Amino acid sequence: MATKSKQKIKPLRLAKAWSYSPAPESASIAQIKDQYELFINGKWQKPKRGAYLDSINPANEKKLYRAAIAESEDVEKAVSAARTAYDKYWKKMPAAERGKYIFRIARLMQEQARELSVMETLDGGKPIRESRDFDIPMACNHFFYYAGWADKLDYAFSNRKAKSLGVAAQITPWNFPLLMAAWKIAPALATGNTIVLKPAETTSLTTLKLASIIEEADLPAGVVNIITGAGPTGSALVRHGGINKIAFTGSTAVGKLIQQETAGTHKKLTLELGGKAANIIFSDAPIDQAVEGVVNGIFFNQGHVCCAGSRLYVQESIAAVFIQKLKDRMATLLVGDPMDKNTDIGAINSAAQLEKINYYIRLGKKEGALHYQSDALLPKKGFYCRPTLFTKVAQSSRLAQEEIFGPVLAILTFRTEDEVIEKANNTPYGLSAGVWTDKGSRIFNMSRRLKAGVVWANSYNLFDPASPFGGYKESGYGREGGWHGLLPYVTF
């Protein structure tokens, strides 16, 4: 007689029943220049040594624009512009006036939301549905939210008077370029700091567009400076003696370097780093919603999310049914042109990132896990990866421990609550987690014991500007968003 775990579950194979006509967003709405300079002291300035780097569209590998490489002389100029602007205007400006500037930026971003969405998708490869419905509106909301805090700082910290720090150096990654810039710029401005920001080299476009919006908003020259370039530009910024604060979002490896670099200095530091989130499904969970939550957590946005639910823990009694339902849903996911409004999984951000993902897929097979991939058709040009899962994954395997940053899900099973908490907490990271269950008391118990900055219950990847976000352990420290997001930018 077949045991329960060997039971055959019939696949549904819904995919073949559905096909959509192409529904591409128009690229022509985005006015992309061939070349972008550095935005320093309110002017577009050529880099001192005249070097530029190309950014491509990862969906078709075509060059999109080139951006200046800021070297140490340019970093010097940007930091000194930010210092002058801080001393001359920004720290003296009444808080309510600062707030008006931030509101103005938010409104201009809203007005240009469609162009920003198209730019984000062309430059980074994420589906237009995601840039249009999540990245850009959420970036605008962060400016609106922190604009409201500017003149209320005296009420934010009871019996304490908050003072700004001075010049903030901010470094952002490629997965949510505009949103990460908003997370950093909006609270820094609201608290009265000036800024030098460096976006990631593969996705500088929307941050450069934000610089023109800031120009249009008529912010005093030098309050926000945007410098482009690769790792060495970021490193020169971090090492500069004239900055008071560093806000970094990126990999744990670079975060550790920055921590070493700033040890023993006066610089205040916040780090938002990698993750390996556990999405935990109990047998009493609403199964179909949980399947959708898992898909949203790891496959949408190509798994290019620091809080991606990349480890799935399913309670043993429902594992076979759940995994089959998940495979059925994976078969319906459309991989392809990120500009198509039907696309679920767009392009992987770069050739190097695709190689990293494929390395982990090969590694998972070598480690003895069982591999499953949907049979989605992929475009011939560009960097793409089918949604992938592994079952029979060992807790100690690299597949279950390391951040892949791609649409690759490691599935493990558990029997009891204590067991899954121990397993979920057993990685170097602690950024986020998901719990799916019908029991409220279990949600409270789990969210108390899971070492994760965010725990979503019967949902996944929900954000709000008023809600803080950040990690435990090697996922970094400090919080962005909400009242907590003001703290890294003030002193008392």
Q: Which does 41 bind (CB under 5 to 8 A by kind): ligand NAP, Mg ion, none?
A: none
- Is 385 a residue of the active site? no
Q: Binding residue for ligand NAP (CB under 6 A) from 250, 309, 407, 481?
A: 250
N-term to C-term CA, the chain: 71
Length reported for the chain: 492
Is the distance from CB of 178 to CB of 110 less than 8 angstroms?
no
Q: Does 45 bind Mg ion (CB under 5 A)?
A: no
- Which single residue is written with the structure tokens 């003696």? 241
Per CB under 6 A, the segment of 195-203, 211-219, 314-322, 393-401 that binds ligand NAP is 195-203
Shortest reach from residue 412's CB to ligand NAP, in Å: 20
Which 387-406 positions form the footprint of ligand NAP (CB under 6 A)?
A: 403, 405
Shortest reach from residue 158's CB to ligand NAP, in Å: 28
Strands 370-373 and 163-164, bridge-based pairing: unpaired
Q: Binding residue for ligand NAP (CB under 6 A) from 166, 177, 275, 481?
A: 275
Q: Which conformational region is residue 440 in: left (phi greater than 0), alpha (psi within -120 to 50 degrees), or beta?
A: alpha
Q: Binding residue for ligand NAP (CB under 6 A) from 431, 450, 487, 490?
A: 431
Q: Does 137 bind ligand NAP (CB under 6 A)?
A: no
Here's the x/- map for Mg ion, 120-139, by CB under 5 A: it reads as ---x----------------
- State both tokens at 257: 């370097």
Cβ burial 152-178 (10 Å sphere, 16+ → b, else e): ebeeeeeeeebebbbbbbbbbbbbbbb
Instruction: Please work out the total of residues on this chain that contact ligand NAP, with binding judged by CB under 6 A.
Output: 31
Here's the x/- map for Mg ion, 50-69, by CB under 5 A: it reads as -----x--------------
- Is 306 a residue of the active site? yes
Q: Which of 71, 120, 201, 272 is catalytic?
A: 272
Q: Nearer to ligand NAP by C-beta: 25 or 120? A: 120
Q: Does 429 bind ligand NAP (CB under 6 A)?
A: no
Q: Which of 306, 385, 474, 480 is catalytic?
A: 306
Q: Does 257 bind ligand NAP (CB under 6 A)?
A: yes
Residues in contact with 79: Cβ distance below 8 Å, sequence separation at least 6, in sequence order: 167, 169, 196, 237, 240, 242, 243
Q: Binding residue for ligand NAP (CB under 6 A) from 102, 165, 168, 171?
A: 171
DSSP letter (8 states) at residue 88: I
Q: Which does 234 bind (CB under 5 to 8 A by kind): ligand NAP, Mg ion, none?
A: ligand NAP
- Note every long-range contact of 411-415, with CB atoms under 8 Å and residues 24 or more positions apart, other chains counting: 411/312, 411/314, 411/319, 411/323, 412/311, 412/312, 412/313, 412/314, 413/313, 413/314, 413/315, 413/316, 413/319, 414/280, 414/313, 414/314, 414/315, 414/316, 415/315, 415/316
Cβ burial 319-340 (10 Å sphere, 16+ → b, else e): bbebbbbbbbbbbbbbbbbbbb
Per CB under 5 A, the segment of 48-56, 86-94, 369-377, 469-477 that binds Mg ion is 48-56
CA dist 274 and 393 (Å) reads: 21
Shortest reach from residue 180's CB to ligand NAP, in Å: 6
Angle at 340 between CA 335 and CA 343, to 5 degrees: 30
CA dist 283 and 439 (Å) reads: 11
Reduce the DSSP state of residue 402 to 3 states and report it. Answer: coil
Q: Nearer to ligand NAP by C-beta: 70 or 219? A: 70
Here's the x/- map for Mg ion, 182-211, by CB under 5 A: it reads as --------------------x---------
Shortest reach from residue 263's CB to ligand NAP, in Å: 14
Q: Which does 273 bind (CB under 5 to 8 A by kind): ligand NAP, Mg ion, none?
A: ligand NAP
Q: Does 227 bind ligand NAP (CB under 6 A)?
A: no
Point out which residues bind ligand NAP (CB under 6 A).
171-176, 198, 200-201, 230-231, 234-235, 238, 249-251, 254, 257-258, 272-275, 306, 403, 405, 431, 471, 475-476
Just list the catalytic residues: 272, 306
Q: Where do contacts with Mg ion occur on this chain (CB under 5 A)?
A: 55, 123, 202
